[in-house]
Amino acid sequence: METLIIHTEKEKLTALKDFLKELNITFEVKKPKSLSKKREKQYNPEFVKKILSSMEEYKAGNYIELTDEYKKELFGK
């Protein structure tokens, strides 16, 4: 027995399943692991907390827009 791995869109998956059933080929469908959960584990929780806090501050309007004039004021160019 051999294994065939197919990556496809949901619409095509239904047709592939029907085709395999017609040929009496056994198969299994595995859904990909959630990327968001995997990414959460990659970052330090304190770092994530700071980023989320910063996003909330931005949504509340607590930020400085870095315009060309402000850049000149900061960097003198």
Q: What is the per-residue pLDDT across 25-39, written as a single tens digit (0 to 9) for each?
A: 998 888 776 655 655
8 A C-beta contact, residue 12 and residue 6 = no
In this structure, is residue 2 part of a structural domain?
no
Read off the pLDDT of each residue in 6-30 and give the average, rounded to a whole number.
90
Residue 31 belongs to a domain = yes
- Whether 54 is in a domain gets the answer yes
Number of structural domains found in the chain: 1
18 in a domain, yes or no? Answer: yes
Does the residue 69 lie in any domain?
yes
Q: What are the pLDDT digits (tens) for 23-75? A: 999 988 887 766 556 555 678 889 999 999 999 999 999 999 999 999 999 99
Instruction: Tell whether 5 is covered by a domain.
Output: no
Cut 0.75: pTM above it:
no
Check residue 16 and give its pLDDT.
92
Residue 51 to residue 35: CA distance in whole angstroms: 18
Q: Determine the structural domain holding residue 54 and report its residue range.
A: 10-75
